[in-house]
Amino acid sequence: MVKTALPQELSNLIIEYEQKLNSKDFSAHTKRAYISRNKKFLSYLSDEEGISSLMDDNDKGWSEIINNYRDFLKSEHQASLNSINNSLTAIEDIFHFVGVDMGRVEREAWPKSTPRCLTVHEQEMFINAVYRTKSSKDKAIVLLLLFTGIKIGECASLDIDDIYISAHTGRITVKDGRIIPLNTVARRALIQWLIDRHKKFGETAERALFLNPQGKRISTVGIDLIVRKIGHKAHLNLSAQVLRDTCLSNLVKNGNDLLLVAQIGGHRTIETTRRYTSVRSFDAHDAMEALGH
């Protein structure tokens, strides 16, 4: 690609865009990055597509041109997925500034890794460590994560009103409206925490289910520390995500329909849920190998 000077209209656009960008509440680094990325894009438009204005009436459509630019970044610059997505965000901003619809341009998707789940033995180690924990709050948090598969943010956002427990059943309602049943272990842990919560904090105005020592809603950092602390007792390197993945993986292993697991996990697509079938395939291999012993 031989660099040539930008056509006057594109040069003027960059100047006007930079002036507008300076009025935004962006960091200096972000502003410089937006300008640099859009200069590269406009240079590509001029040199490769023969376009001298964003107001041109393009037969191909802007989405196709921008997708061509994405391919150009991959092939000519070996740009990373993160770099490409950052460029698309900057391009989207300058199109918004001009008032031109760039069409639908998908971001680069990061490859989905196989979920990291606890083995049966590790789950036993973890549960043993949970029952050795004195804090009813810590027990309730980690058992809720393990037996509902909710995310750490969803756990921190739970209010008392989001919990329903009767003699033989129970459920939680997370903020996106999903209703997840509680098994016996999770129900018992929550009941004990609610009793201790009332003893320690009384009829507090704070409606959060889980409170920090100051009586305020616990943070995701606070939950993460609890999970890792109990994991350390079990000699495991844990996170709330590992507990979530373990729960959803167990649901798949137990033969539950993938649509049901997707609903419980709050997955937008069934493809996200299918990742847990790869975990099951490894277990199947181990199961068949064990027949020879």
* CATH code of the domain covering residue 17: 1.10.150
pLDDT for residue 89: 87
Provide mean pLDDT across the span 218-228: 94
Amino acid at 123: Q
- Quote the mean pLDDT of the chain: 87
pLDDT for residue 277: 82
Residues 18 and 94 in one domain: yes
Residues 208 and 86 in one domain: no
Model confidence at 279, in pLDDT bands (50, 70, 90)? low
Burial of 254 (0-12, 13-18, 19+ CB in 10 A): exposed
Provide mean pLDDT across the span 247-257: 92
pLDDT digits (tens, 9 = 90+) for 82-107: 788 889 888 998 998 988 888 877 77
Residues 14 and 148 in one domain: no
pLDDT for residue 31: 86
Burial of 88 (0-12, 13-18, 19+ CB in 10 A): buried
User: Is 108 a domain residue?
Assistant: no
Residues 198 and 146 in one domain: yes
pLDDT for residue 233: 93
Select from 65, 98, 131 the last residue of a domain. Answer: 98
Between the CA of residue 286 and those of 124, 126, 250, 283, 290, what are the distances in Å?
A: 18, 22, 16, 5, 6
Residue 113 has pLDDT above 90, yes or no: no
User: Is 21 a domain residue?
Assistant: yes
In this predicted structure, which of 105-114, 148-157, 192-201, 256-265 has the lowest mean pLDDT? 105-114
Residue range(s) defining the domain that contains residue 22: 8-98
Residues 86 and 125 in one domain: no
Spatial neighbors of 85 by CB under 8 A, at least 6 apart, are 107, 108
Q: How many domains does the chain have?
A: 2
Residues 51 and 125 in one domain: no
Rg of the chain, C-alpha, whole Å:
26
Measured distance CA(155)–CA(226) in Å, rounded: 13
User: Is 76 a domain residue?
Assistant: yes
Select from 63, 98, 133 the last residue of a domain. Answer: 98
Provide the 3-class DSSP secondary structure of residue 203.
coil
Residues 23 and 82 in one domain: yes
Which phi and psi angles does 17 have, rounded to 5°?
Answer: -65, -40
User: Is 224 a domain residue?
Assistant: yes
Q: Residues 105-111: contacts with CB within 8 Å, 24+ apart? A: 105/63, 105/66, 105/67, 105/70, 108/70, 108/81, 108/84, 109/81, 110/81
CATH number of the domain that residue 208 is part of? 1.10.443.10
Structure tokens at 112: 């989905």
Between the CA of residue 258 and those of 26, 182, 247, 276, 287, what are the distances in Å?
A: 42, 19, 13, 9, 22
User: Is 173 a domain residue?
Assistant: yes
Residues 243 and 150 in one domain: yes
> Tokens 């842990």 appear where?
189
